[in-house]
Structure 1
Amino acid sequence: MSVHHLTHFAGLPVEDFTPSAPPTGDPSATAWRIATDYNGRLSDVFDEFLDAVDTTRVSHLVFGFDDNTTDVPRMLAEHVGRLPALRNVFLGDIVWEQMEMSWIEREDITPLFEAFPDLECFEVRGSEKLRLRPIARTALRRLRFESCGLPSEVVRAVGACDLPNLEHLDLWLGVENYGGDVTVADLAPILNGERFSALRHLGLENAEHADELAAALASAPVVARLESLSLALGTLTDEGAEALLSGQPLTHLRRLDLHHHFLSDAMMERVRQALPGVEVNLDEQEQRDQDGWVYVAVDE
């Protein structure tokens, strides 16, 4: 699977900030991408952005390739007074040609939430050195982690957060070889419905142990309140699909995303027949490798 640069983010088109060509349009109509190359410093580009754009009207920021020396959450926190309208942030809009996802280094993202309590959407790609402490925020509605290996400490911190208006949560759990050590027990506060009373979409994606997750979801109280559920990009086999179909009803869902899976033709048909009113994505039927192993979509 290829990971692509964003063209839109949180409802707005993405536009690259180019220091040599100062923008002239409405700053509030664009999701601004701040990035550098192998020879530059992201903090320098961001300083130029602050000077060139009326940042009091900027609501969306996307950060792309950087030099791995800039702590973006802390940098944003230091300029909180210049960004009163900021509501949506994406960290790590980096594609394979620039850097493999497993190499993308992150940092403690907690300062971003502490400095911007009105943040509504936060998405991050890459999880090497990623850290998070539990937060309490009423504005946050969308939270997404794209990863080859999401640390269990981060998932437990998410589960300990107080986010009463969170509607959309995506966790790319990844593989153990790249730090993806999340267990079903780590997900318990999310699955048992103790947290996130407004949650309508849950994605447990790019997961090495998708069958175990499917078995847990088959009886997880949170599922009853969801409109959309995703086990996409992972290693789901007939065993996991059987667990889903044998568990609690899923007919209330609007969407069930299972794309990139290892289901047999017969099981794919069973899923479709069992959920006639649900939009089920069964694209990308994969085949086991020559040694019989299954694999996630993004593992490095």
Structure 2
Amino acid sequence: MSYATHLVSLYGLPVYSFPGPDARTDDLPDADGFAWRITSDVHDSDEAWTAAFARFCAAVDTTRVRALIVGPWQEAYDTDPTVVVDALVGARDRFPALRALFVGDMESEECEISWINQTDVTPLLTAYPALEELGVRGGSGLEFPAVSHGALRKLVIETGGLGAEVVRGVGGSDLPALDHLDLWLGTPDYGGDSEITDLEPILSGARLPHLRHLALRNSEMQDAVAAAVASAPVVARLEVLDLSMGILTDEGAAALLGGQPLTHLKKLDLHHHYLTEPLQDRLRQTLTGVELDLDRDDADEDTEDDGTVWRYVAVGE
């Protein structure tokens, strides 16, 4: 469960955490040199996220800010960030240079990924038509109705379980500039109820003409995803294909190798997998010019007395 860690960079900028209410703010770094992380200080203060954001707006030249990170809001396991989204939308005229947003940057001790309550995040895209990167962590209550956005280049949704409605919303969106899409599909235990048919609009690539990096990962149905990807039209234009962090077995990898050629890829990422050594060797021999990540990481499995084998995605809680 170590994947959901604090961001160290966003939009190519190092992260700087805006100080708490008792700290000095007269010696802050350049506004455009960092991705600013704003958080409720849930351990040492009762300050709400919106209050911290108000202090930030008063202390920093927001017209130069290029990247914002929303850290914990109070009781994220019980409260969705609607007031956070509303605050960001309401401040849109103060952030003309904003190009990247990430909502829900929390580690497990702050809130387990599948306990993070989310909300409809698409008002952020409407409010910031020049936004190039949007990231979200947490799938509980997350909404993403189909939207049109001409500037978005990167969309990342990290969850222990991604709802089918969200997958369909992403697939139904018109995102002509998107070149990087990363969806953590998760498991049904944590709300990941999407099926392969929900992925078809994404795999067709019809609304994603510039997609070059596709990640469909952390999935309990990783074999079925791999089989669908094997014949997906979008794959021919990809540079990076990422099917990592899930329950990928020889069945899925064999289907992937039996589909369209993948030799044009720059990278195929399958880390955290359940492949046998012979299948890994087939991948290496077939894709000699492709960077392969076949690290097993912590992909352990349990076998019960009756022979039942349990395998696990990398991030569930």
TM-score norm. by structure 2 comes to 0.92
Amino acid at match of 2:302: D
Deviation of 1:55 after TM superposition, in Å, equals 0.4
Which of 156, 171, 182 in structure 2 is aligned with 1:144?
Answer: 156
| Post-superposition CA distance 1:113-153 (Å, at most 9, x none) | 11101100001110110011211111100000000010110
1:34-183 counterparts in 2 under 5 A? 34-38=38-42, 39-67=46-74, 68=76, 69=79, 70-71=81-82, 72-183=84-195
| Post-superposition CA distance 1:68-117 (Å, at most 9, x none) | 35422221001111111111001111001111111101111111111101
1:288 aligns with 2:289: no
Aligned length: 300
What residue ranges of structure 1 are gaps of 5+ in the alignment? Answer: none
Deviation of 1:288 after TM superposition, in Å, equals 2.1
Runs of 4+ displaced beyond 3 Å: none
1:187 aligns with 2:199: yes
Deviation of 1:30 after TM superposition, in Å, equals 0.6
1:222-261 counterparts in 2 under 5 A? 222-261=234-273
Match of 1:27 in 2: 31
Contact 2:300-2:312 at 8 Å conserved across structures: no
CA distance in 1, matches of 2:96, 2:111: 32
Deviation of 1:36 after TM superposition, in Å, equals 1.3
Amino acid at match of 1:61: L
Contact 2:205-2:211 at 8 Å conserved across structures: no
Q: Percent identity?
A: 51
TM-score norm. by structure 1 comes to 0.97
Deviation of 1:162 after TM superposition, in Å, equals 0.7
CA distance in 1, matches of 2:231, 2:120: 33
Match of 1:14 in 2: 15
SS at match of 1:293: strand
CA distance in 2, matches of 1:147, 1:9: 18
1:208-223 counterparts in 2 under 5 A? 208-223=220-235
Deviation of 1:191 after TM superposition, in Å, equals 0.6
RMSD of aligned alpha carbons: 1.1
Deviates more, 1:61-70 or 1:188-197: 61-70
What residue ranges of structure 2 are gaps of 5+ in the alignment? Answer: none
| Post-superposition CA distance 1:241-265 (Å, at most 9, x none) | 1001111100000000000000011
